């Protein structure tokens, strides 16, 4: 791996993939949208190119001259009104990019999928692994639906066109450079600042340091097997929402929330937020129906495959929470 293209290079995961690739001695071409916030790439020795998953011409140009493609870009919006845009970017855009990479004879492709494409475990007492697939029919929202479809598309092209692709599926990353922030990052920020009065009692996530996920991408390019999928998470990162909030609150020096609410109450609030408040204000909903539906079950995963095959690092969880809270603290100053 000498020269790599990273799509979505200015995003939370993408910006860390760029750094991990640079640390590995790789020349990086960073693809970003012209109107995007590119602060996360400031000071980095990269070639910036402008492109968009919905612009097939820009994709064809971006892949010329690289031997590795990290497709990290995606339309990440859990609201239902984003369905059309999510499909255009995450499914149709992925197809166009993969075909362009085939034409350009790219040696290795790492496609960033999501644990949204992993189905529920066969044994409810055990975390899910790569052998389980989520179904579109049971997807809680358009983002999850399109991530399932786009990963299946990549695997189909591996079989039919010999696409040299590996799929990686990040869990719930936290850490520096979460500029938007992501839903998980907002959870950490709010808990650390003491502005989260309640939590859904059934919710749970697999928390992992974003830099570990980035290294996992680079390792997948070098050590991953074509056609395989790897969950990029922390083997000890399966935490209830209460445990996540409590850890963030401790590192933020804030009181811990004591009120647990049932998911039915949270779902009612999300319906009002998504269909009424956000429609009137034009702002993104703070709570989405898809997000609450995801929270009804604990999103726990077995990450041993990536740890054993890709030698994915496992940053200590206390250090992970500390890094994330410290970064939000600096940003809020």
Give me the percent of the chain exceeding a pLDDT of 70.
84
Give me the percent of the chain exceeding a pLDDT of 90.
70
Mean pLDDT of all residues belonging to the chain: 88
Q: pLDDT digit string (tens) for 22-49?
A: 999 999 999 999 999 999 999 999 999 9
Q: Do 43 and 19 contact (CB within 8 A), yes or no?
A: no
The length of the chain is: 333
pLDDT at res. 80: 55
Predicted TM-score (pTM) of the model is 0.90
Structure tokens at 34: 């012209």
> What residues contact 52, with CB distance under 8 A and at least 6 apart?
33, 58, 89, 93
Domain 3-175+206-238+299-315 belongs in CATH node 3.30.70.920: no
Please give the residue that has the higher pLDDT: either 85 or 152.
152
Q: What is the mean pLDDT of residues 189-202?
A: 79
Q: Do 302 and 233 contact (CB within 8 A), yes or no?
A: no
pLDDT at res. 20: 98
Q: Which of 16-30, 149-163, 283-297 has the lowest mean pLDDT?
A: 283-297
What residue ranges do the domains of the chain occupy? 3-175+206-238+299-315
Instruction: Name beta bridge partners: 260.
Output: 199
CB environment 111-124: b (16+ within 10 A), e (fewer): bbbbbbbbeebeee
């Amino acid at each position: 791996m000498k020269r790599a293209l990273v799509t979505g290079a200015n995003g939370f995961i993408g910006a860390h993939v760029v750094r991990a690739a640079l640390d590995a001695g790789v020349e990086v071409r960073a693809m970003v949208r012209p109107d995007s916030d590119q602060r996360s790439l400031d000071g980095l020795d990269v070639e910036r190119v402008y492109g968009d998953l919905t612009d097939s011409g820009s994709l064809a140009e971006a892949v010329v001259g690289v031997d590795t493609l990290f497709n990290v870009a995606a339309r990440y919006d859990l609201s239902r009104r984003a369905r059309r845009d999510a499909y255009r970017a995450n499914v149709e855009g992925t197809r166009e990019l993969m075909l362009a990479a085939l034409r350009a004879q790219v040696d290795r492709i790492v496609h960033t999928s999501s644990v949204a494409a992993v189905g529920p475990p066969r044994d409810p007492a055990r975390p899910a692994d790569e052998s389980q697939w989520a179904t579109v029919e049971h997807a809680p929202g358009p983002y999850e639906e399109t991530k399932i479809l786009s990963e299946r598309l990549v695997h189909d092209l591996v079989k039919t066109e010999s696409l040299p692709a590996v799929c990686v599926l990040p869990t719930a990353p936290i850490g520096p450079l979460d500029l938007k922030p992501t839903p998980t990052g907002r959870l950490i920020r709010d808990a650390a600042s003491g502005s989260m009065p309640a939590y859904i009692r059934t919710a749970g996530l697999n928390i992992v340091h974003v830099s570990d996920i980035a290294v996992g991408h680079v390792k997948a390019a070098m050590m991953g097997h074509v056609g395989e999928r790897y969950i990029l998470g922390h083997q000890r990162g399966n935490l209830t929402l209460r445990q996540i909030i409590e850890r963030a609150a401790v590192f933020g020096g804030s009181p811990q929330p004591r009120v647990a609410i049932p998911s039915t109450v949270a779902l009612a609030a999300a319906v009002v937020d998504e269909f009424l408040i956000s429609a009137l204000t034009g702002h993104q909903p703070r709570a989405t129906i898809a997000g609450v539906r995801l929270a009804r079950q604990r999103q726990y995963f077995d990450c041993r495959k990536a740890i054993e095959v890709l030698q994915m690092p496992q940053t200590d969880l206390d250090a992970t929470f500390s890094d994330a809270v410290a970064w939000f603290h600096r940003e809020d100053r």
